[in-house]
Amino acid sequence: MTANRGGPARVGGPANRGGHATPARPADLARCSLNQATVKHARLEQAVAVAAAAGYAAIGLWRDRVRQTGARAAARIVAAAGLRVSTLCRGGFLTASDPVAARAALDDNRRAIEEAATVGAAELVLVVGGLPALSRPGQGPRPQATAADRDLAATRRRLADRIADLVPTALDHGVRLVLEPMHPLFTADRGVIATTAQALDLAAPFPPTAVGVVIDTYHVWWDPELERSIGRAGREGRLAAYQLGDWILPLAADPLHSRGHVGDGYIDFPAITGWMAAAGYAGDVETEIFNQAVWAEEAAVTAAIVADRYRRQVLPYLD
């Protein structure tokens, strides 16, 4: 089986790239990463400091936060804290039918690839985009939307072409495009691929070093073929990232904000984590939560909860 390119970090010991002594990290958090979305209101410097203080080995960055400091400065901040960057979120939104919008999306994704390389992220997560009929996420279609704008099969074919357009840039920069299948609730507005098998089929024409998939529990836990698809991804060398977030009810007014802490909802994390381990995944494990109540907590409190849930409900099943 093929492991992800980013293995567990060494614990303690060598100096980081900034020349400062890297503080020792708890061995049980050697693969634990805090995705910035989980502490949404923290600036990059604060999120990095919180993750480092809590003993995390890595952090998943978001482009809007990186832009506040600049990619080079962000890389220095992460390195000085002794962390690594597990992923950069997000590229994607590649499904526009309008040629001008399509070119703009490709240009933005090429910039995202460059940013990922600069901050030291080998994986760029792609939220691939919804139907062209969309007005804006979470809202109804444009009044002038046509039948062609609702053509899901054609939209997926366009997506495949756009991925092909981006692969040369990804290979040049040593950054893997990571396709994120999203729960069918989001097919219209955010992601026209809903299963890991669909993502793998899109990735198949390209080298595993160029295109992989992320297993985000919130989006794929319901899939009856998930175990088989994770195994396939492992055999193909395409398991690029593992993200955690629980499915909680009732859903928020915006379902995107309905993620909960691991263990607060309905997802069987031991089973999915066991499938990831069996498939050879050896990379970081990010917790990514979109939830207003979680965002209202102090970032340090949230980081402590995430680490505790990881230790109790994920770590025992990673080996």
Q: Domain for residue 180, yes or no? A: yes
What does the alpha-carbon distance between residue 169 and residue 82 come to, in Å, rounded to a whole number?
Answer: 28
Domain around 94: 32-242+269-287+299-317
Q: How confident is the model at residue 255 (pLDDT cuts 50, 70, 90)?
A: very high
State the CATH number of the domain containing residue 130: 3.20.20.150
What single-letter amino acid sits at 122?
Answer: A
3 state DSSP class of 68 = helix
Q: How confident is the model at residue 25 (pLDDT cuts 50, 70, 90)?
A: confident
Cross-strand pairs, 179:
126, 213
Q: 154-158: long-range contacts at Cβ-Cβ below 8 A with a sequence spacing of 24 or more?
A: 155/95, 155/97, 155/131, 155/192, 156/192, 156/193, 156/198, 156/202, 158/94, 158/95, 158/97, 158/102
Is the pLDDT at 82 greater than 50? The verdict is: yes
Is the pLDDT at 49 greater than 70? The verdict is: yes
Q: How many domains does the chain have?
A: 1
What's the DSSP call for residue 254? S
Q: Domain for residue 250, yes or no? A: no
pLDDT digits (tens, 9 = 90+) for 196-219: 999 999 999 999 999 999 999 999
Q: DSSP letters along 260-313, please?
A: E-TTSSS--HHHHHHHHHHTT--S-EEE----HHHHHS-HHHHHHHHHHHHHHH
Q: What is the mean pLDDT of residues 68-91?
A: 98
Q: What is the mean pLDDT of residues 189-195?
A: 98
Q: Domain for residue 65, yes or no? A: yes
pLDDT digits (tens, 9 = 90+) for 104-118: 999 999 999 999 999
Q: How confident is the model at residue 23 (pLDDT cuts 50, 70, 90)?
A: low
pLDDT digits (tens, 9 = 90+) for 150-186: 999 999 999 999 999 999 999 999 999 999 999 999 9
What does the alpha-carbon distance between residue 303 and residue 136 come to, in Å, rounded to a whole number?
Answer: 32
Q: What is the mean pLDDT of residues 249-260?
A: 94
**Comparing 14-28, 111-125, 181-195, which segment has the lowest mean pLDDT?**
14-28
